[in-house]
Amino acid sequence: MFSGKVAIITGSAQGLGKAFSRVLLEQGGKVCLSDVNPNVLEKTYEEFKAEFADSVFSLPCDVTEKEQLREVFRRTKETFGRIDLVVNNAGIVHEVQWEKCIDINLNGTIRGTQLGLEYLRRDNGGNGGVILNMASLAGIFPVNYTPVYCATKHAIIGYTRSWALHPDAVNNGVRLVCLCPSFVDTDMIKMDDKSKYIGPDLAQSVLDKHGVMSIDKITQEFLNAIGDETNNGVSIAITKEGVKNIPSPRP
């Protein structure tokens, strides 16, 4: 499905970003790994390089720095000759450092989406493709212990849905979609730093109630999302109970 195609994935040194990168490489794709943590990024790059040779390269990037992110796109196009998929995956949870949370989660996604449209759209020399933005079940339902995080994810869904309806995307072969998982077994949900929540006891109780999904489950839905050409403006809610596609309302 992805053989010969090229992806940029932010926050791909570990967690879901790393898993998404691996599955695309296993399908014969090419991936630019990008992450704010250069040490972890280098380890992931060396691991993938040993398996997939020249199908992968890496470039450290802080998505809050627009010129760093632009360089990721420029270098990917220069290295692989094309870009087919942009995954805006970088994100954090932090209710105390809330400005940082907004700048990474929301502003980083907006920056990545705008660059993705610039490089993918056919009237600008692209081949069309997919922009997948990582939202969350917290983008669909309110969450009392992470209101800022919740706000960023609601905004990502609204932003993605809006671009999915825009003629500049539709007429140039660019689809946009959101993945909205509940708790996934990554470092983001570890409770070792309770200061990032407003009411860590609330967070723990919800985590205990709803449980944690495996990364493999999200990876499969990731593949379904990018492979299904009817998915545009769709928010894909993923829980332990199942998967639900929530189409974009039309004005």
Catalytic residues: 149
| H helical segments located in 12-146 | 15-26, 38-52, 66-80, 98-102, 108-120
Give the DSSP letter of residue 144. T
- Report how far residue 136's alpha carbon sits from residue 32's, in angstroms, rounded to the nearest whole number: 23
**Close Cβ partners of 159 (under 8 Å, ≥ 6 residues apart):** 106, 109, 110, 113, 133
- Which SS3 state, helix, strand or coil, does residue 7 take? strand
Measure Cα distances from 243 to 26, 90, 162, 222 in Å.
24, 22, 22, 12
Residue 200: its H or E element: helix 200-210
- Phi (first) and psi of residue 116, to 5 degrees: -60, -45
